[in-house]
Structure 1
Amino acid sequence: MTTGALAFEVKLTTPYDRAIELVTAALKAEGFGVLTRIDVHTTLKEKIGEDFRPYTILGACNPTLAHRAVSHYAEAGLLLPCNVTVEADGKGSVVRIADPDVMLSVGGMDQDPALHSVATEARVRLSRVAEALSALPEAAC
């Protein structure tokens, strides 16, 4: 696992479709469900006729954390759900999980203690998702 400017990144040796299954299971283990699934490859082909590598955006949500955030500040909903991308990369896949702390700062809400607490808890859970994926036999070294 690596941590970039926007996200946690994990490279897997597994094919793209299997990577989506592994990511979904790891998210579920940390209390996140997948609310949305955007197939970027298919959408770009249908809408503008462009070929693009297999690439999916998963909208992951932990209901308890989301409830805390939007109950405190309704505009926090603009930062939800937590985005996770899975893309084909050669013979494997790359998974990127948006860092909630970064998203909160982009939204200018990082000075709010209640929202910062939610983002920190989400970050810990999503970091564990990335760590769990990194620990799989399918993780690339």
Structure 2
Amino acid sequence: MFHYTVETNQTLEEAVQSLEASLKEEKFGVLWKFNIKETLQNKGFEFDQPYLVLEVCNPKEAQRVLTEDQLVGYFLPCKIVVYEDRETKNTKIGLPKPTALIEMVNDESLKEFAADIEKRLIACIDKSI
């Protein structure tokens, strides 16, 4: 599976706050919060589902991986989504797995790096629920 997703009973706002705190502990910062619902509605499109995309980065790790292979920049910063499930109305938190994305680069030396980042981000998500 190319992604990791969990469900929580927290509100979207609570989940984001908790996630930001756990990311900070791992030295990941949120560079940008893309509010898809708000953006689409501002452009005149109906979209009632709360849906945020957080772009997160650990500068030290970004520098390290980009030094190894510039193509990895196509996947940076890492994305974590936080949204309200249409059916259950519960909040979901997920990310595309770095190990799945790194497969597209065909660089064996980066697989261990991607696995480490993935493990750390999943731990942040799990801690936040």
Same structural fold, with TM-score higher than 0.5 when normalized by the shorter chain: yes
> Aligned Cα RMSD in Å?
1.6
* Map of 1:38 onto structure 2: 34
Q: Distance in 2 between matches of 1:47 and 1:73?
A: 37
The 3 A distance-change label for structure 1 pair 112 and 48 is farther
Q: Does 1:69 align with 2:72?
A: no
The 3 A distance-change label for structure 1 pair 76 and 124 is same
Q: Distance in 2 between matches of 1:55 and 1:61?
A: 20
Note if contact 2:83-2:91 (Cα within 8 Å) is conserved in structure 1. yes
TM-score (normalised: structure 1): 0.81
Tell me which stretches of 4 or more aligned residues in structure 1 moved more than 2 Å. Answer: 89-92
Deviation at 1:86, TM superposition (A): 0.3
Residues 88-107 of structure 1 correspond to what in structure 2 (within 5 A)? Answer: 88-89=84-85, 90-105=88-103
Q: Distance in 2 between matches of 1:21 and 1:110?
A: 35
More displaced 10-residue stretch of structure 1: 90-99 or 72-81: 90-99
Gapped regions of structure 2 (runs ≥ 5):
none
TM-score (normalised: structure 2): 0.88
Residues 1-141 of structure 1 correspond to what in structure 2 (within 5 A)? Answer: 5-89=1-85, 90-105=88-103, 108-113=104-109, 115-134=110-129
**One-letter identity of the residue aligned with 2:12:** Y
Deviation at 1:91, TM superposition (A): 4.6
Deviation at 1:78, TM superposition (A): 0.9
Gapped regions of structure 1 (runs ≥ 5):
135-141
Note if contact 2:15-2:128 (Cα within 8 Å) is conserved in structure 1. no
* Map of 1:139 onto structure 2: none
Alignment coverage as a number of residue pairs? 127
* Counterpart secondary structure, 1:35: strand
Q: Distance in 2 between matches of 1:88 and 1:103?
A: 25
